[in-house]
């Protein structure tokens, strides 16, 4: 019964919330060591998942995500070790103030309590999420996809034993063993026991959680990111940024999906960008104006490659996260048009302006309401590691509580400690 996990979590969270940094780091070290020590067991369990996946016709890409070998397990252990080196976010005095009546008030960071993490077929999330939650003083209830259940069970078992070997309550890490749709729904209804749910996965999973959860949710993931190239932008810089944002890792949420180019410099800009994208075989879905410009350019220059891999964009393209070597391109008449387009189609994740005009940059960055707004840098930097947070449990695209990379400090709530000498109202 899922309720049993909730009750066990409620009990475990009390001691974990006040555990010392040393205790937590000792448990994390035990987890990292145990993962390495039990590499063969994990690989054996993972083999079952891989075989089941193959039998069920799972795609090569998904099988690759699911696969664990000694190297990847070493990577998981290394991830846990990195969390040891991060500062303990619990108990930070965020603010102190003294009231006229003499009351002294400390605002102090505290763990959220119990965090539910719902994820799909990547078994490494099991150790990632567990390590971040443990360090931040939060009990974690993990609910992975059925595709990885054998791997997840084995990893969770190893982590729980490791935690217990250091004298900590093993229920600070729990795995939902039942991977039916019902168990997922039940977890979303457990607001009595679970303080926050973090879904990690595709848009379908995230929307299902947002729609059905009674537990507060931190929404993650969907990124329709834009690069807007202003009229005065440096061409080389724009080409490098678009190339990097689109092609360095197209499958992630901070990759660019749409390029907006100011009309005044569009001809030269488009041709240069298109040439670079061709080197990476990027398919371009373009509006009529872009196509016309590229055609004209191709005819003038004789470089017919400019109009290959080029198709007319539909309304749907502007709202699509391709996750692929594919980009939508549009000419805009002004920075206002660019901002309007991003308001209409963006997902509030990461958007960039390339310009040498500081005022234009400020206007863009003030008006675009996204978790991360960039001036002259690739959107690919929206990442806990790149921000210096050390590790992240996801990228929040909502505005409540956490926005952008969710690191250890974002896994905290706070409380007020009020010191008096008998004050009454």
Q: Which positions touch a second copy (CB under 8 A)?
A: 14, 17-18, 97, 99, 103, 105, 110, 112-113, 191, 195-196, 210-211, 214, 216-218, 234, 237, 240-241, 243-245, 248, 343, 365-367, 369-378, 380-382, 386-388, 398-401, 403-404, 413-425
Q: How far is the CB of 106 from a second copy (least distance, A)?
A: 9
Counting every residue, how long is the chain?
Answer: 425
**In the complex, least distance from residue 75 CB atom to a second copy, rounded to whole angstroms:** 19
Cβ–Cβ < 8 Å for 27, 72 = no
Contact 59, 251 (CB under 8 A): no
C-alpha to C-alpha distance for 311 and 217, rounded to whole angstroms: 38
- The answer to whether 273 and 239 have CB atoms below 8 angstroms apart is yes
- CB of 134 vs a second copy, minimal distance in Å: 17
DSSP 260-325: EEEGGGHHHHHHHHHHHHHHTT-EEEE-HHHHHHHHHHHHHH--GGGGTTEEE--HHHHT----SS
**Residue 38 beta carbon to a second copy: minimum distance, rounded to whole angstroms:** 34
Strands 114-119 and 139-143: parallel
Nearest CB to a second copy, comparing residues 54 and 366: 366
Residue number, 288 or 386, with CB nearest to a second copy: 386
Can you read off the two tokens belonging to residue 303? 């470089």
Report the nearest approach of a second copy to the CB of residue 399 (Å): 4
Residue 77 CB, nearest approach to a second copy (Å): 25
> CB of 422: closest distance to a second copy in angstroms?
4
Q: What residues pair up with 225 in beta bridges, in sequence order?
A: 256
CB-wise, 165 or 413, nearer to a second copy?
413
Measured from the CB atom, the residue of 18 and 292 that comes closer to a second copy is 18
Q: What angle do CA 75, 81, 85 make, to 5 degrees?
A: 140
The residue among 44 and 418 lying less far from a second copy, judged by its C-beta, is 418
Nearer to a second copy, 63 or 252 (CB): 252
Q: Which is nearer to a second copy, 291 or 391 (CB)?
A: 391
Cβ nearer to a second copy, comparing 111 with 145: 111
Nearest residue to 293 (alpha-carbon basis) of 315, 313, 265, 317: 265
Question: Do residues 139 and 171 lie in contact, with contact meaning Cβ atoms separated by under 8 Å?
Answer: yes
HSE at residue 183, side-chain half, CA atoms within 13 A, is: 21
Q: Which residues, listed in sequence order, are joined to residue 260 by a DSSP beta bridge? A: 228, 330
Tokens for 143, please give them. 């609910």
Q: CA angle, 161 as apex, 156 and 165 as ends, to 5°?
A: 150
Q: Least distance from C-beta 236 to a second copy, angstroms?
A: 8
């Amino acid at each position: 019964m899922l309720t049993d996990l909730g009750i066990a979590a409620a009990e475990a969270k009390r001691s974990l919330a006040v555990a010392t940094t040393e205790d937590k780091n000792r448990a994390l070290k035990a987890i990292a060591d145990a993962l390495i020590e039990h590499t063969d067991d994990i690989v054996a369990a993972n083999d079952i998942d891989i075989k089941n996946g193959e039998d069920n016709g799972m795609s090569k890409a998904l099988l690759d995500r699911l696969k664990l070998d000694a190297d990847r397990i070493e990577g998981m252990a290394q991830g846990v070790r990195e969390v040891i080196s991060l500062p303990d976010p619990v108990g930070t005095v965020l603010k102190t103030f003294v009231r006229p009546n003499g009351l002294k008030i400390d605002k102090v960071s505290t763990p959220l309590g119990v965090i539910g993490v719902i994820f799909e077929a990547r078994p490494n999330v099991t150790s990632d999420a567990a390590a971040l939650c443990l360090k931040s003083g939060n009990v974690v209830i993990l609910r992975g996809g059925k595709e990885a259940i054998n791997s997840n069970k084995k990893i969770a078992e190893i982590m729980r034993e490791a935690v217990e070997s250091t004298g900590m309550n093993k229920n600070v890490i729990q795995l939902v063993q039942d991977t039916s749709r019902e168990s997922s729904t039940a977890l979303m209804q457990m607001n009595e026991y679970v303080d926050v749910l973090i879904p990690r996965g595709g848009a379908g999973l995230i929307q299902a959680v947002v729609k059905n959860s009674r537990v507060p949710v931190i929404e993650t993931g969907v990124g329709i990111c834009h690069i807007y190239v202003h009229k005065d932008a440096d061409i080389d810089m724009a080409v490098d940024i678009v190339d990097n944002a689109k092609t360095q890792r197209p499958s992630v949420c901070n990759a660019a999906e749409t390029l907006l180019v100011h009309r005044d410099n569009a001809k030269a800009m488009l041709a240069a960008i298109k040439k670079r994208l061709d080197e990476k075989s990027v398919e371009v879905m373009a509006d009529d104006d872009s196509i016309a410009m590229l055609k004209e350019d191709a005819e003038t220059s004789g470089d017919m490659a400019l109009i290959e891999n080029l198709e007319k964009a539909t309304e749907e393209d502007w709202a699509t996260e391709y996750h692929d070597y594919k980009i939508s391109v549009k000419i805009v008449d002004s920075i206002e048009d660019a901002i309007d387009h991003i308001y209409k189609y963006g997902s509030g994740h990461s958007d960039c302006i390339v310009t040498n005009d500081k005022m234009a940059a400020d206007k863009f960055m003030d008006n675009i309401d996204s978790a991360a707004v960039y001036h002259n840098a690739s959107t690919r930097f929206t990442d806990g590691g790149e921000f210096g947070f050390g590790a992240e449990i996801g990228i929040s695209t909502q505005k409540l509580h956490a926005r952008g990379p969710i690191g250890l400090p974002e896994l905290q709530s706070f409380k007020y400690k009020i010191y008096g000498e008998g004050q009454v109202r």
